[in-house]
């Protein structure tokens, strides 16, 4: 029996190491943040379906739209990371300091994580589950902090900037 457990554990460790290696290659050192976002996508979708079932608004069209929305989040995240890297490289080539743009992807991912968490909490409330007020306030505070930090990196455009 011990040999069977040891063989299983060895194979599980090997598979786990391979998964971590692939995730690290694909998403870099902070791959856990991307896995968290994927998990939040799945949890939000499940609670969204439960809410729709409870409120009698469940439909395959809404479900398909929800899946498309989640996939679109991943497309925007990929674009924000890729475009920021291209622009930083471009800036280095022409001597323009654009390294701050590396934060675009992280701000985008952070905003989407907060949105998913907020959506999950809203679904839980509709389903009648008790969500601590401190958690809701914490999410709102995090939204404010991320927005403020983003404004420091990339200030909002003024009307004069938009006219140019």
Res 54: pLDDT: 93
Structure token digits, residue 103 = 């934060």
pLDDT one-digit tens code per residue, 89-116: 999 999 988 888 888 899 999 999 999 9
Domain ranges of the chain: 29-155
Whole-model pTM: value is 0.79
Q: Which residues contact 23 (CB under 8 A, 6 or more apart)?
A: 31, 34, 35
Q: Which runs of E-coded beta strand occur in the chain?
A: none
């Amino acid at each position: 029996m011990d040999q069977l457990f040891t063989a299983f554990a060895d194979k599980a460790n090997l598979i786990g190491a391979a998964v971590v290696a692939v995730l690290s290659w694909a998403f870099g050192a902070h791959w856990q943040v991307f896995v968290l976002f994927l998990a939040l996508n799945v949890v939000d979708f499940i609670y969204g379906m439960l809410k729709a079932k409870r409120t009698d608004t469940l439909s395959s069209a809404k479900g398909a739209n929800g899946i498309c929305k989640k996939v679109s989040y991943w497309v925007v995240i990929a674009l924000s990371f890729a475009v920021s890297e291209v622009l930083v490289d471009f800036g280095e080539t022409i001597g323009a300091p654009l390294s701050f743009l590396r934060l675009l992807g992280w701000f985008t991912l952070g905003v989407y994580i907060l949105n998913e968490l907020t959506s999950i909490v809203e679904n839980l409330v509709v389903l009648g589950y008790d969500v601590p007020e401190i958690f809701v306030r914490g999410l709102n505070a995090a939204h404010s902090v991320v927005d403020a930090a983003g404004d420091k990196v990339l200030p909002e455009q003024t009307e004069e900037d938009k006219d140019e």
